Structures are given as C-alpha cells and as structure tokens.
Amino acid sequence: MKTFCGRANPTTGALDWVEESEEYDYHQEIARSCYADMLHDRDRNEKYYQGIRAAVSRVKARGERVIVLDIGTGTGLLSMMAVTAGADFCYAVEVFKPMARAATCIIKKNGFSDKIKVINKHSTEVTVGPDGDMQERANILVTELFDTELIGEGALPSYEHAHLHLVQVGCEAVPHRATIYAQLVESEQLWSWAQIRSVQVDDRTLVPPAAVRECAGAPAVCDIQLSQVPPSAFTPIGPLCSMFSVDFSRPVSSAPRSYSCRFVAKGGGRAQVVLSWWDLDMDPSGSIVCSMAPRWTYSDPREYPWRDHWMQSVYFLPAERSVCEGEELSLSVSHDDYSLWYNLSKGHQTDVEESFCRPCCTCQAHLVWTRPRFGELNDWQRTESYLSALRSVLGKDSVCLAVSDGSLLPMFAHLLGAKKVFSLENSGMSKRVIEQFLEANSLKNGVQLLAIRAEQLTSADLEGEQISVLMGEPYFSTSLLPWHSLFFWYCRTALARLLRPGATILPSSATLYLLGVEFQDLWRIRAPCGTCEGFDVSPMDEMVQQSLDFRESREAEPHHLWEYPCRALTKPHPVMTFDFQQCVPEQPMNSQGTLPLIGRGRCHGFALWMEYNLTNDISISMGLTKPVNEEGECVWSPHRKQGVYFLQTPWESSGDGRTAVSYNLTFDTSIGDVKMDFSVTQP
C-alpha cells in the first residue's frame, strides 16, 4: 500500500506530495513521536503510579474486583502499573497499530499477558459484553489523552463515551481531575507574535491595514516552553486564576461551555495575552499533583520537571484592552471539543455571546504568517539591517524584484526611492495580504505584485526593464530546515536572463554554520529509556531506533532552539557558503573537516543554521544572535527554526580540544537538500 507525504522542495519552494511506501509514514510517525520524552518524564510516571496504587486500594477496600480500562495505553506502561498495584484485569486500548503491537510485546516481555488485553481500536469503537472487546465495565478508568491545551487530543469526547458505555457508575479515575489556570498579562514580546507594528522608513511610517489591526487573529493555541520566557518579559494584569476543573470520575460532557473569573486589576497597562497551564490531581484529595506550571513559578527551580510532550499555552486576546489599576475585570474561557479561547470584559457584566464566539482570522495575515513570522517582521533591529542594506544599494534608476513570501521589502525599496519595484507572490492569500498593506499606505502604484513563478517571468512582465536589484529576506512559508530557504538561489538562477549586468543580489550569499552542543533537556526526546518505573520498555527503544534508521528519519530536524537551552562544546563553524552572485551549480557541493570539542560535557548532537550576508558589512543570523560566552551559553534567534542533528550515542568531551568531530556535508543541488555524516576522532 502506498501513502502520499508532503515534503518541502527547496528547488521549487513548494510542498511536494510524493508517493511513499506504507512503511515510510509509519517510521516517520514513530521517529518523530514523543514516546521517549514521556518515558523519561519521571514526574509524570511517578505521579501516575501513585494515583493508580491509591485507586486500586480504594476499590479493593470496597471488596470489589479491580477492572481497569486504560485508554491510549501507548507502551502499556500504565496498564502494567495497574496490574502490579493489584488490579485483577486491565483492558489497554490503543488506536495506533504500531503502538498496539509494541504494547503487546512490552506487556509480554514483562510477564503480564495473562492480566492485560491490548485492544487495537479507538475507545469509541470498543464494545462490552460476552462477545465484546471487554467482558465487563471497568471500575477504574486510567487515561493519558492530554496535550498542551489539555483537551486538544479529544479527551472530552473520549471521556464522555467511556462513562456512557465502558465504565461503571461511580468509577475511580486516574487522573481524578484536571484544573486549568490562566493569568492575564501585558507583554510586548508575546504580543508581537499576534499583531504587526508600524515601521518607520526615513520620513514615512508604514502602517498595518485596519483589517489586520482589528482582526481577532488565528484561533489556534500557541504552545511553547514558557519557562524560557522570563518574568521580565511580561507584566501581570491580574492574579493567577483557576478557570475551571473537570472531574474525570463522573460523566463528562463535550458540549461547548464557558467559564469566567472576576478579579481586580493589580496594575494598569494593556491587557494583551493570557498565559495558561493545567494541573492533574491523581487522587480525589488532590494530594498527588502533576503540574504543568513553568519553571519560574517554583521556589526552587531545580525541582521543575522538564517535559516537551506537555508544555504551556499562550493565548492572544481578540484585541488589546487598556486597563487601569483597581478596575474590575472578568476573564472568560470557552471551549469546544478540542480547543480553548479567552476573552476579557470590564465591570460586572460578561458578554456571554462575545465570550462564546470563537475568534477567527478575517484579514488572512494570521493565516499567511506564523506567530514567529509576526515576531520576525516586528523585530526593529532586523528591519533596520535590511533598511541599511537597501539604502546602500538602491539608486533612483534601480529596478527591484523581490522574491520572498509575504515580505515588506518591496515597500521598503519603494519608500527608499527605487525607480520600479516588482514582487513575486506565488500564494494568492499572501498576495492579498500584501495588497492590503499597499492600499493602506497608498502604495498600490509603487509596487507591482506578480502572481507568477520565477522561471515563468518574462521581460514583458517587467515592462521591458532589466532587474538591477534582486532582493529577498529570504523567507518562504514551506521552509522547515535552514537550507530550505535556498529556494531564493534557485529563483536567482531562473532569473539570470533578466538581470542587468552587474546586478546587485541581496543577500549576496548565505553561510551554513555548525555547532556541537550539549542539550540541557532536549536530548530526552531521542534517548533510549531501557527501564521505566521498573518495567522493561526496551522493545519501544528498539522500535524507535529502527524508525530513526529509516531514510530521512536520521537527518536533521527543525527546532526552535530558543526554547531548549544548550551549551556549545565547539566553536561555531562555517561549513558551507552559497554564493548567490553565481547560479546554482549542477554538481553537488561538499564540505569536510574537523571540529575540536573544546567544551567539557556530553555532545548530544549539532545545531545548524544560516547566516545571510546582505552586503559586505551587514549580515543577518538565523541562529546564534550573540557570541558564545566562556560558559558556552547560546542565545538563539526566536524567529526561525534551527536544524538539529541528534547523535545516536552522545560523545563525552573532556574539553581539552584533543577529541575532534569529523563532519561530511553534501548539498545535493538537484533536490536542494543537505546530507550529513559525523564521527568522532579520539587522540
């Protein structure tokens, strides 16, 4: 059986749908899963085990046989905990077939096959009765159906069905309840991910269209490692509010609902953003708590349990509101089956209809630009670098062509005095967003948007002109890894016939950098577990490793490294330079060399990023934004994802520089992809 998979194609800038074998999709799912992260989450596992032991004891104290239903069993870990705690039988439900097989293998390896039945179905398809999947209803319901938003994986409908059809009335539940917390804050940093600010270009101010300013934005949650957003980056407007709780031991409704919390503003300012997370009470008394609160809420940050499968949530209000200290406010949260959203009212009245209305983007900008992209466009230092570069290359006779998705560069070029400015916009939605900006700033006659691909462009499209300045950020919505933005280079090659002799290419080149790193925590998502709470889960390790060894799964993967602290164990090293002054070569580009490990620690892998040279003296880094200090601290750009290549086995470094990394990178120009290989050289 074949499957179609989307894959970024840097040579075309498109997301290609390619036919792959059934195994490809399976291996990608396993290789990129969070199972290793969950198995390494000691706090989660211990709290579940404590909760399960307590629930089994309560049922036994009533003189009942203990029948457990484990929905979303994954590796079968929670089911094995239940049987070890004294459960008489456990039904382990897992819809993902490869995981159901893994659970069966792990359960057999640990000697629980006679007490645990794995059911490879969605829980809503499970039947109960003499001829059913379950012989009887369960009196303990164990689940791990949660995501960062708590309900985003369909927890509410699954619980609702389970109480109606699969468990006894008055059953025990682990977890017993969940509580969602929220805090209203003002934050320029976070709000810059939701709205575009005005830009000063010499004596002109480029303003966002009214439709963008007044838009409620994208409804999707922004899930991040909130621990990496320091408290200095936001100002609380109100207290931490307990918004609502869900008791999983009683019938649960998936029907849409709203809740509100009233409070007095603790300070004046602009209410913009809601920070949110949740806790799980594993027992009815609330004495066993698994919290998703960020690190800076802990009195001792060393007690913070890092995890990546559950993070924290950032929600953006539909519009910022000015608030005075002492003012009475009402923060409301609404939910449907799978998502949450927030609203703010003043005084005693809460507009129920407004609160219950799910926000949606009406300006299209929030559909075209990701939240990091909003932040990138709002980065005034970055913008000033582009403006400075453009000022140095533009003249009154400049004919400019911009190649980037939804870029403001064409408007900058016009305002800086270019004779003519054209911009390629292949996406119809992106083109409409830029048209709104042009109209709002009376620039419709200053920039011509061309809905055409670079290789199709003709001299007639350029009104008979030759291009004197070809510019790009470059940014393309389909780019995932750093080298995917080399689509700009392929466009430059296709446009060579239309370039004026001696034309300026901005950026003039790009350099791919490499850095050996020790991750503080991110290594857990790829590290084998072996045993977990005393259970042998090595079959899961083996399955993940087999998938990691399958084609692209052993290549670099994209991560926002600003969220994942790491220490540099090598110096940042330029491994490959792409000269945009020249066309893309037909032959592959190769770079080999060695890199001494000069930092003491454990090398988990390598970070890779691009640095774009706009001019001879102006460059923009998509990776490190500051020099690495003596302790190896790394400060990463929050706007783009960096590439991360994880080593199968970490390398120990004494830091004396005698141990070195040998690298071999090849840029295949025919497909626009980078293949890489690393080895360690001991003294």
Helices and strands (DSSP H and E) totals, the chain? 16, 36
Which has the closest alpha carbon to 313: 239, 219, 376? 219
Q: Provide the 3-class DSSP secondary structure of residue 390.
A: helix
Strand order in the sheet with 589-596: 589-596, 660-668, 673-681
649 touches 531 (CB < 8 A): no
What b/e string do you get for 80-91 counting C-beta neighbours within 10 Å, with b at 16 or more?
bbbbbbebebbb
Which has the closest alpha carbon to 169: 94, 250, 98? 250
Identify the sign of the CA torsion 577, 578, 580, 586: positive
DSSP state of 636: B
300 phi and psi, to 5 degrees?
-120, 100
What secondary structure does DSSP assign to 178-195, as a single string?
A: EEEEEEEEE-HHHHTTTS
Count of CA atoms in the C-beta half-sphere (13 A) of 330: 15
Report the 10 Å Cβ neighbour count for 113.
12
Report the 10 Å Cβ neighbour count for 312.
22
Q: Which two tokens stand for residue 102?
A: 């893994």
* Residue 138, beta-bridge partner list: 167
- Active-site residue set: 144, 153
Which has the closest alpha carbon to 400: 467, 472, 475, 499? 467
Which has the closest alpha carbon to 667: 489, 467, 446? 489
What secondary structure does DSSP assign to 452-515, as a single string?
A: S-GGG--TTTTTTPPEEEEE-----TT--SGGGGGHHHHHHHHTGGGEEEEEEEES-EEEEEEE
Q: Provide the 3-class DSSP secondary structure of residue 96.
A: coil
489 phi and psi, to 5 degrees?
-65, -40
Count of CA atoms in the C-beta half-sphere (13 A) of 531: 4
* Residue located via tokens 């037909």: 586
**What's the angle, vertex CA 91, arms to CA 87 and CA 97, rounded to 5?**
140
Q: How far apart are CA 621 and CA 648, in angstroms?
A: 28
H or E stretch covering 243: strand 241-247
**What's the angle, vertex CA 366, arms to CA 364 and CA 367, rounded to 5?**
65
Q: Which two tokens stand for residue 467?
A: 């291009």
Tell me, letter by letter, the H, E, C secondary structure of 355-371: HHCCCCCCCCHHHHCCH
Q: Provide the 3-class DSSP secondary structure of residue 219.
A: coil
First-last CA distance in the chain: 49
Tell me, letter by letter, the H, E, C secondary structure of 552-578: HHHCCEEECHHHCCEEECCCCEEEEEE
Q: Which residues contact 112 (CB under 8 A, 6 or more apart)?
A: 76, 79, 80, 83
Q: How far apart are CA 217 and CA 363, in angstroms?
A: 8
